[in-house]
Chains A and B, each alone.
Chain A
Amino acid sequence: MDTVTLRIKRYDGVKEWYQEYQLPYEKGKTLLYSLTKIREELDPTLTFSAACRHAICGSCAVRVNGNAFLACKTSLDQLLETFETERLTLEPLNNFPVIRDLVVDWEPKLERMKAVRPWLIPSEDGDPSEGFRQSPEDFRKIASPTDCILCGICSSECGQLSLNQEGYLDPFILNKAYRFAVDSRDAAPEEHIRPALEKGLWKCLHCMECVTKCPKEIDLAGENAYLRQASIQMGERDNKGARHAYAFVEDVKSKGRLNEVTLPMKTEGFVSTMNRIPFALRLIRKGKINPLHMPREVEGIEGVRKIYEHAQGVKEP
């Protein structure tokens, strides 16, 4: 391989186009190196943002062949190998307004972030002059979520956000809600969790794009599960997401397996389920569901129930 072609999506504030740049192949370089080389040697008008070159400032995220990467942390060789090509397509992050070329606008996102009150609401266990003490164990709870560098990769890749920009919060915003909700020095976890709940917390598609692409490997999906559990503990059980999750919890305890026939009723209630009658008839005609079928208890169901009893008394270490 002598040359590498980068096909870059351009935007000058009015029109969009794709422009191709050819670079001599050099082994062991980063994606950011290639972008910098284009700007310095081929086209000074190419606009992208970058600063630290050490995966700390979070400003150089771009999409390559449809997947978001931190340009400074990403090896060009690895990209060429992954996509089995000598030609890569670069675009700005998805789900952000674009300012120019590969540069996106963070202002609206940071405004949105305020919804979850991304600041410490101090407890009375300390005060600003004395400081707030935190045990190593409590610190560990915020160690991973505070790794977030606000690069925007999770927003770009989020399945729900890509379909619904207004009715769902970006994963990094949910991470902020989590980060303060679990902070031992914070006095009001609810004030971080409730706005997330009201802005579509249960709408997450479980696509696992955020956890897969996060350059800091933050367990964003696990944090979402925590936020949902916490919202239930706050008494917020009367919504489709929570009722759906409880349907599984209850069915496994009662029979061991899911009852697909009663699931919509448990999740949506009687009235909405009636709207699903045409859907149900369609399935019955093909034999996909039998409304009279009742799952039998699985072998060992008593043991399953004992596991439930045990779990009730245990908090996961």
Chain B
Amino acid sequence: MRYGFFPGCTLESAAKELMISTKKVAAALGIELVELEGWTCCGASHIQDVDDFLATSINARNIALAEQLDAPLLTVCNTCTLMLRTAKQKLDRNEQLKKRVNQGLAEAGVEYRGTVEITHFLWVLVKDYGLDRLKEKVKRPLEGLKVANFYGCHILRPPQIMGFENPLNPQSMERVAEALGAECVDFDQRLACCGFHAVFPAEKEVMKLTGINCLSSKDAGADCLVTPCPLCQMQLDMYQPDAQRGFDQDITVPILHLPQLVGLALGFEPAELGIGRHIVDAIPLLRKKLVTA
């Protein structure tokens, strides 16, 4: 199993722990990740607000880099996945657009052909790798750990572009968590938005939403919240102390990246997965709940 790995900007700085955990977990599972050389930011759902054609063009170039490897493009970020898949859908459905984009790409010495798929680590686990195979790799079942699965918008919506599962009642996160031995809790905000993309222009609303999201998982009895998106993770973790100021109730809940949860079950120690880098300390919880952590 070989993929063209598109880390996305956050993995180089604020979410470096996701780079660390993704690489370790992929290696342990025998999934080969080849980082695309020269990948650029996907536009993070902002560049199209200035120039649609430019947003499509830079992602056509990103996809073309994976085409050069002849490998499916894999991301670990919901928004990167949506941006890349949006560009691909537009290009594959509009020959004229593809031609104009390729005129620009030609000057950069690359060509978009439309020959590779764009996928996310979560989907790879469920569909390509398989949960039975994943179960066989589990060295430390996460028994007794109650996780709240927070999908994040852009791995589900819009389904016309994402289309992996029903956005009204997805199950992939629960299936992975259960394969790892964890117990899943149902909670009201399971499919909610984290608000990250509007944290500057709509700070007040997004902070309120952060508090609501954290509390919802706590009220359902979760020990921690897990997300397949570094932007959701950053919003819910980094801004949690700021969000707390708007709430009387304690909203504190540790927020894990999906590959970290997988890594714990594969037997890695929390420190090896960069869990010490989170703002809300998850390590005391993991020490208490996990057998050898």
A positions within 8 Å CB-CB of B = 66-67, 82-84, 159-160, 163-164, 200, 202-209, 211-212, 217, 221, 225, 228-229, 232, 239-242, 244-246, 248-249, 251-252, 256-258, 260-261, 264, 267-268, 279, 282-283, 286-290, 293, 295, 298-304, 306-311, 314-317
Instruction: List, sorted by A's number, 14 A–B pairs whose CB atoms are closer than 8 Å.
Output: A202-B202, A205-B209, A206-B197, A209-B193, A212-B159, A225-B48, A225-B49, A249-B47, A249-B51, A261-B13, A264-B200, A300-B37, A306-B107, A311-B104
A164 touches B205 (CB 8 A): yes
* From B15, B45, B50, B110, contact of A232 by CB (8 A): B50
Which residues, 47 to 69 on B, are CB-close (under 8 Å) to A?
47-54, 56-58, 61
A221 cross-chain contacts in B, Cβ below 8 A:
158
* From B52, B97, B105, contact of A307 by CB (8 A): B105
B9 touches A258 (CB 8 A): yes
A317 touches B96 (CB 8 A): yes
B96 cross-chain contacts in A, Cβ below 8 A:
317
- Interface segment among B114-122, B137-145, B163-171: the answer is B163-171
* From B48, B49, B56, contact of A241 by CB (8 A): B49
Q: Give the docked Cα–Cα distance between A217 and B159 (Å).
A: 11
Measured CB to CB, the closest approach of chain B to A49, in angstroms, equals 23
Q: Give the docked Cα–Cα distance between A173 and B188 (Å).
A: 28
B15 cross-chain contacts in A, Cβ below 8 A:
288
Given A82-B166, A200-B202, A317-B97, are A298 and B49 also a contact pair (CB < 8 Å)?
Answer: no
Closest to B52 in A: A316
The yes or no answer to B153 lying at the interface (CB within 8 A) is yes
The yes or no answer to B100 lying at the interface (CB within 8 A) is yes
* From A212, A242, A244, A264, contact of B167 by CB (8 A): A212
B13 touches A245 (CB 8 A): no
B10 touches A260 (CB 8 A): yes
B104 touches A306 (CB 8 A): yes
A260 touches B38 (CB 8 A): no
A310 cross-chain contacts in B, Cβ below 8 A:
57, 103-104, 107
Given A258-B9, A290-B13, are A205 and B50 also a contact pair (CB < 8 Å)?
Answer: no
Given A212-B167, A256-B41, A316-B97, are A241 and B201 also a contact pair (CB < 8 Å)?
Answer: yes
Measured CB to CB, the closest approach of chain B to A178, in angstroms, equals 14
Q: Give the docked Cα–Cα distance between A205 and B51 (Å).
A: 19
The yes or no answer to B150 lying at the interface (CB within 8 A) is no
A316 touches B53 (CB 8 A): yes
Q: Give the docked Cα–Cα distance between A200 and B173 (Å).
A: 34
Q: Give the docked Cα–Cα distance between A146 and B15 (Å).
A: 43
Which residues, 170 to 228 on B, are CB-close (under 8 Å) to A?
188, 192-193, 195, 197-198, 200-202, 204-206, 208-209
Given A286-B279, A303-B110, A311-B104, are A248 and B44 also a contact pair (CB < 8 Å)?
Answer: yes
Q: Give the docked Cα–Cα distance between A280 and B107 (Å).
A: 40
The yes or no answer to B242 lying at the interface (CB within 8 A) is yes
Q: Give the docked Cα–Cα distance between A290 and B52 (Å).
A: 32
A84 touches B169 (CB 8 A): yes
- For chain B, the count of residues having a C-beta within 8 Å of the partner chain is 73
Q: Give the docked Cα–Cα distance between A258 and B44 (Å).
A: 9
B58 touches A202 (CB 8 A): no
Q: Give the docked Cα–Cα distance between A242 and B200 (Å).
A: 11
A208 cross-chain contacts in B, Cβ below 8 A:
82, 153-154, 157-158
A257 touches B40 (CB 8 A): yes
Q: Give the docked Cα–Cα distance between A300 and B47 (Å).
A: 20
Q: Give the docked Cα–Cα distance between A202 and B13 (Å).
A: 26
A303 touches B109 (CB 8 A): yes
B14 touches A256 (CB 8 A): no
Q: Give the docked Cα–Cα distance between A300 and B204 (Å).
A: 39
Given A239-B201, A316-B53, are A256 and B107 also a contact pair (CB < 8 Å)?
Answer: no
Interface string of B8-25 (1 = CB under 8 A from A): 011011111000000000
Measured CB to CB, the closest approach of chain B to A195, in angstroms, equals 17
Q: Give the docked Cα–Cα distance between A290 and B16 (Å).
A: 11
* From A205, A228, A248, A308, contact of B193 by CB (8 A): A205
A245 touches B153 (CB 8 A): no
Q: Which of A66, A212, A279, A293 neighbours the largest number of chain B CB atoms within 10 Å of its CB?
A: A212
Interface string of B258-284 (1 = CB under 8 A from A): 000000000000000000111100000
B107 touches A248 (CB 8 A): no
A200 cross-chain contacts in B, Cβ below 8 A:
201-202
In the A-B complex, the 10 residue pairs with the smallest Cβ-Cβ separation, listed nearest first, are A303-B108, A310-B104, A299-B38, A207-B193, A208-B157, A300-B38, A163-B205, A306-B107, A258-B9, A203-B202
Q: Give the docked Cα–Cα distance between A300 and B62 (Å).
A: 11
* From A217, A242, A290, A304, contact of B61 by CB (8 A): A304
A248 touches B47 (CB 8 A): yes
A160 touches B202 (CB 8 A): yes
A256 cross-chain contacts in B, Cβ below 8 A:
38-41
The yes or no answer to B43 lying at the interface (CB within 8 A) is yes
